[in-house]
Chains A and B, each alone.
Chain A
């Protein structure tokens, strides 16, 4: 936590410097993405699934207990 505090305090100065550097930028349209985001529809058909995928995916969960994924309680 003290580490995060130091980075935040140092970083605020950096952000202000960046903000100052952009202060003369005129109010104009914003560029979020250079390519248009599209709604994609896939052709109808039978879905496919790697039968080993669920097993591989389950292995990535941090801990298992009695068939349930065990996670730390929200802080």
Chain B
């Protein structure tokens, strides 16, 4: 372990994947490493509290915030011998899809240099893809694990809402987000989920889950029923991605799975529903960053997208007596959720694209939020409905990786991971 660790610590972070590394602490953890994660190195998204480590959320607001306690997921990872190398870069307060909005500078994509790695768990996915660490923690509010995993050519999973404790996660949108694993293969992602998942009395939304995902992985795809919503196909913007996704569905068919058409008629309502929810919840979540208790006052130091969400969240909250925005979005959430459940009713999983387009170039400054928000089109339904959804590498378009998204029923992480592992084996 020590030789492997030293090699990893010596690697230069050319991608800006880390905000801060902790080599001495990692060496100490490695010496005492025992358990299911013994010998595994990890990067932690900078919005998850690690005792004594800078938990900045990628923002100047918290540039001096050293977490005074461990998040539940960190306690569990440390308890199983995981070695934490450092805190990964991320979009500021997880408000981004590209990894460009961090106060600590953008992260490069190791699988397609000069392009964005995706976000908001940008540094986590980049660190795994570049081989800086074995696995990483991300958080996913509208696709923030699956999107960067897809762009960087690695595996990412957003669990069912409630399966992983959010205690110690700096929240952005508390009704939507989940912590989840990013790894180079499905087995490692399943193992990390095993360690993190399980009831936690410190989180009022925590659920009891089955666990044992890694040991129970079954790669046999024969007889699996996979739904493909035709609305996915209609909304893919990049022809290359469409080709990769269709080829992936052919591979599943060839391996014995039955691919059937299903409907998600309100898929195009996902982004408005999601953002109207997020603006309000984010505004509420950031009221504690008033500069009096800790950190700087958020409005004084934050970047443009964070400020946009605060300003609009405040505006919607003031106007809400009309019930026009937030209430409507909560109703739309019910509609999308029931449509997704209906689509999942007669199949084992849904499969489709993770993103509608390839990652843009780092120097391309996109100022219209609509263009950036569009990356979330296929991932937000999973958060709005709280179901498990993962991204597994499916191929590339002119050398740029893209992924296959697999979506399952609530608490059926095993079924999602099985299909992902079965597909991974075919690649």
Contacts and interface: CB of A to CB of B under 8 A. Distances in A.
A42 B201 contact: yes
A35 B386 contact: yes
Contact of B330 (A32, A42, A53, A57): A32
Nearest to A9: B311
Interface in A22-66: 22, 25-35, 37-40, 42, 50, 53, 56-57, 59-62
A contact face: mostly helix, strand, loop, or mixed: loop
Interface stretch (B18-26, B121-129, B286-294): B286-294
Interface in B297-336: 299, 304, 307-308, 311-312, 315-316, 324-325, 327-335
B103 interface: no
A31 B325 contact: no
Contact of B308 (A7, A42, A72): A7
B182 interface: no
Contacts of B312: 7-8, 11, 14-15
Contacts of B397: none
13 contacts: A7-B311, A11-B312, A14-B369, A15-B316, A17-B272, A22-B273, A25-B332, A30-B331, A34-B386, A35-B205, A38-B204, A60-B66, A61-B293
Interface of A: 3-4, 7-8, 11-12, 14-15, 17-19, 21-22, 25-35, 37-40, 42, 50, 53, 56-57, 59-62, 71-72
Interface of B: 51-52, 64-66, 68-69, 161-162, 175, 201, 204-205, 207, 268-269, 271-273, 275-276, 279, 291-295, 299, 304, 307-308, 311-312, 315-316, 324-325, 327-335, 337, 369-370, 384-386, 410
